[in-house]
Amino acid sequence: MSAPAPWQNFVAVAVNDHRGRGDRRAGPERRTGERLNLSSVRPLKLIFRSAFTQTIISALLLWYIRFVYWTGSWTRENEDIPNGFHEAGKPFILALWHGRLAMMGLAWRYGDTVTVLASAHRDGRIVARVLEGFGFSVVYGSTNKDGATALRRLAGVLANGGVVGVTPDGPRGPRMRAAAGVVLLARLAKVPIIPMTFATTRRRIHTSWDRFVLPLPFARGVYLWGEPILAPSSADKAHMEEKRLELEHAITELTTQADHLMGQESIPAAPQNEPSSETTPDLPA
């Protein structure tokens, strides 16, 4: 069974927090916030599968993200890096950790040039609808199923001068560990990867696998962009692994820097030996 989506975790925590305070007859486990697993409740699962429900959830999330942004004070650092590529008409891959997706829709003024890879699962479709609300285009696919097909479609976007947004640790982790697919895509399309992230002074961290960061209103926030990372078309397997580790380190360092700027503790990556449910698709050299 797949892990609950971040928004499911948020509802579960809220419900249990209310029940823990209100039920004076509750036992020790209930009082300490016994967690309600929404994904195991069949009626709710059926409701969440409804296209209508997904539309409502997406609209609420879209409104909430805009509310957080409008009530906050946001700064951007190194935005001249992606702006320079855009002004020169050069494509690139935008990469961030899955746990920092919440504010991606407002990260860059040229978001309408970005195409993202999203899971066809219902949770992935909710995220995709939110990003579409900000002007992003979406390619549905996975690095686990028909991965090569999805990545070739993204390569086509890059070949036409577009920008591709990816989460190298998504959709199922391990947290903050980069899969090889994004580096293979960069090599195939002959484009650089530009890391980015966000952080805020007020946030909630969910218990989902990615430790999803939910920003809160009336806060200070920052968007950070990193230096481009190149994967030469002539790179062999060992060199590609070096580039994968370089990307992983770059996004993590950037995210840690953003958290520290906002006075927050950094979120650790998953252990190196934590298994992933994803596989790397085979792409042509």
Examine the domain organization and report whether 21 and 147 are in the same domain: no
User: Are 104 and 51 found together in one domain?
Assistant: no
What would the DSSP string read from start to end of 14-78? HHHHHHHHH-TT--HHHHTTPPP-GGG-HHHHHHHH-HHHHHHHHHHHHHHHHHHHHHSEEEEES
- Are residue 190 and residue 136 in the same domain, yes or no? yes
- What is the tally of structural domains in the chain? 2
Q: Same structural domain for residues 163 and 187?
A: yes
pLDDT, tens digit, 9 for 90 and up, residues 154-205:
999 999 999 999 999 988 889 999 999 999 999 999 999 999 999 999 999 9
Place of tokens 């609420």: 60
Are 155 and 242 contained in the same domain?
yes
Q: Is 109 helix (H, G, I), strand (E, B) or coil?
A: coil
Count of other CB atoms within 10 angstroms of residue 97:
28
Which pLDDT tens digits describe the chain residue by residue (285 residues)? Answer: 445 554 454 444 333 333 343 443 344 443 333 444 544 445 555 555 677 788 899 999 999 999 999 999 999 999 999 999 999 999 999 999 999 999 999 999 999 999 998 877 777 788 889 999 999 999 887 655 556 788 889 999 999 999 999 999 988 889 999 999 999 999 999 999 999 999 999 999 999 999 999 999 999 999 999 999 999 988 899 999 999 999 999 999 999 999 999 999 999 999 987 654 444 444 433
Largest Cα separation within the chain, whole Å, is: 67
Do residues 55 and 194 both lie within one domain?
no
Considering the domain architecture, whether residues 145 and 195 belong to the same structural domain is answered as yes
Torsion of CA 150, 228, 210, 155, to 10 degrees: 0
Which range marks the domain in which residue 43 is found?
6-66
Final residue before a domain boundary, out of 27, 51, 66: 66
